[in-house]
Amino acid sequence: MKTLLQIKTSVFSDHGNSTKLANEFVAGWQKANPDGRVVVRDLATEPLPHLSAERVQAFFTPAAQRTAEQQAHSSASEELIDELKAADVVVLGLPLYNFGVPSTLKAYFDHLARNGISFRYTANGPEGLIADRKVYVFAARGGFYKDTPADSQTPFVKAFLNFIGLRDIEFVYAEGLNVSEDQKRSSLEAASAEIVRLAA
């Protein structure tokens, strides 16, 4: 049985454009995989704590030396990593907020980045420890940023996912959503057409 992990990052949860696009893909994937399982992690309704000194120290402390609180911090991070490892397909809804990713997604990434668990340093450089799998990113933007220096999202998300081992990444963009109603409609229609192709 295949498993799809959907990560929602819009502050509007299911009402955000990026989530709506991701939901379209998930619905198509479910039709193509009727026996598949969908796991949803909604960072708007269940946000993760941002890193603190205590949490980072817990990650760095050897397991045998952790306090109960440190072990709880470490275990919460490892559950997220295990959830990702268990997925055959990953779907990420990605709105653009003030030229960057939502802070909740950054917090999620910070919990995934664990030396010796999701990546390791070697003499030849860092090596991702999460086996590659397909990742679909549905990026919704109010303006036009794709392939411009102002698009900090795409290289950041690619770099992080590559760092932990995920390299098979496909982006679908819906841009200019705040420019006009006509632009929003045409952009979302184009993204939906691409989703139909990908989910088939």
Q: Name every residue whose Cβ is closer than 8 Å to that of residue 95 and which is 6 or more positions away in sequence.
A: 9, 10, 11, 16, 17, 18, 102, 139, 140, 141
CB atoms closer than 10 angstroms to residue 135: 22
pLDDT of residue 170: 98
pLDDT of residue 200: 82
In the block, residue with structure tokens 């919990």: 111
Closest alpha carbon to 42 in 72, 22, 71: 22
pLDDT digit string (tens) for 139-169?
999 999 999 999 999 999 999 999 999 999 9
Query: What number of CA atoms fall less than 13 Å from residue 84's CA on the CB side?
Result: 26
Judged by DSSP in three states, 141 sits in: coil
Tokens coding 59: 């990650």
pLDDT of residue 87: 98
* Residues of the binding site for FMN: 10
Select the CATH number that applies to the domain covering 3-199 from these four: 3.10.20.600, 3.20.20.140, 3.40.50.1970, 3.40.50.360: 3.40.50.360
What is the C-alpha to C-alpha distance for residues 84 and 71, in angstroms, rounded to an integer?
Answer: 20
Annotate 183-199 with b (16+ C-beta within 10 A) or e (fewer): ebeebbeebbebbeebb
pLDDT of residue 133: 97
* Residues of the binding site: 10
What is the C-alpha to C-alpha distance for residues 177 and 109, in angstroms, rounded to an integer?
Answer: 26
Tell me the C-alpha to C-alpha distance, in Å, between residue 194 and each of 28, 111, 113. Answer: 12, 31, 31
